[in-house]
Structure 1
Amino acid sequence: MPNHIIETVTFRLKDGVGRAAFAKSATAVNDYVNGCAGFISRRLSCGADGLWIEHIEWQNMEAAKAAAAGIGAPEGNRPFLSAIDGPSVTMHHTELEISVN
């Protein structure tokens, strides 16, 4: 059985976007990812330097790619997406080797 996929996205917010407002918009995306086939978990954190890191665990790469392709469609995801500084975004997919809860 293939390992789960960890999607890691780093980004910064556009100038003028507050952390609390962004965090609220980020919770709206939970409905979207929870409804995606192959979704396992999501974590979003922010460093003191303003760099946000999102980790999403997927059952497989196909699920990760399908979710990424559709994230812009739901109206509820738009405030989250529009707050992100596009040129700052990096995305990586890696295979999970070890997980401890």
Structure 2
Amino acid sequence: MSKNVIETVTFKLNDDVSREDFIAAAQEMSPWVEARPGFMHRRLSCMEDGTWIEHIQWQDMDAAKAAAAEIGKAPSNANFLSAINGPTVQLMHSELEVVIN
């Protein structure tokens, strides 16, 4: 049985992007993410130094990788993706081992 996968992406925004505009762009993208096969949960947070952290839980690694391969093709994701400072992006996938609710 495959384990759920947590996709963790850290990044900073481009200098000309406000926090409010970025949050609006993230919300614009939500329907696309939610419609991906295997999607379970999404969280977006920001550290004090301006580093953003996005956590998406997928049913398995195949679902996570398929969504990552398609993210740039959807017009609804353009504002979100263009707000991110590309060289600061770090993408990681990990298998979920423990959940406490």
TM-score, length of structure 2 as denominator length: 0.97
Please state how far the C-alpha of 1:2 moved relative to its aligned partner.
1.8
Match of 1:82 in 2: 82
Q: How many residues are treated as equivalent by the alignment?
A: 101
Match of 1:37 in 2: 37
Match of 2:100 in 1: 100
Match of 2:21 in 1: 21
Q: Distance in 1 between matches of 2:7 and 2:13?
A: 19
Question: Residues 11-40 of structure 1: CA distance to partner in whole angstroms, max 9, x if unpaired?
Answer: 000011100110000011111111100000
Q: Distance in 2 between matches of 1:68 and 1:2?
A: 18
Trace 1:26-65 onto structure 2 (pairs within 5 A). 26-65=26-65
Structure 2 residue identity aligned to 1:20 = E
Q: Distance in 1 between matches of 2:47 and 2:35?
A: 28
Structure 1 stretches lacking a partner, 5+ long:
none
Over the aligned positions, Cα root-mean-square deviation in angstroms equals: 0.7
Superposed structure 1 runs of 4+ greater than 4 Å apart: none
More helix by share: 2
Q: Distance in 2 between matches of 1:10 and 1:77?
A: 17
Please state how far the C-alpha of 1:3 moved relative to its aligned partner.
1.3
Match of 1:91 in 2: 91
Question: Residues 45-88 of structure 1: CA distance to partner in whole angstroms, max 9, x if unpaired?
Answer: 00110000000000111100110111111111000000000000
SS in 2 for 1:67: helix
Structure 1 residue identity aligned to 2:55 = H
Structure 2 residue identity aligned to 1:34 = E
Structure 2 stretches lacking a partner, 5+ long:
none
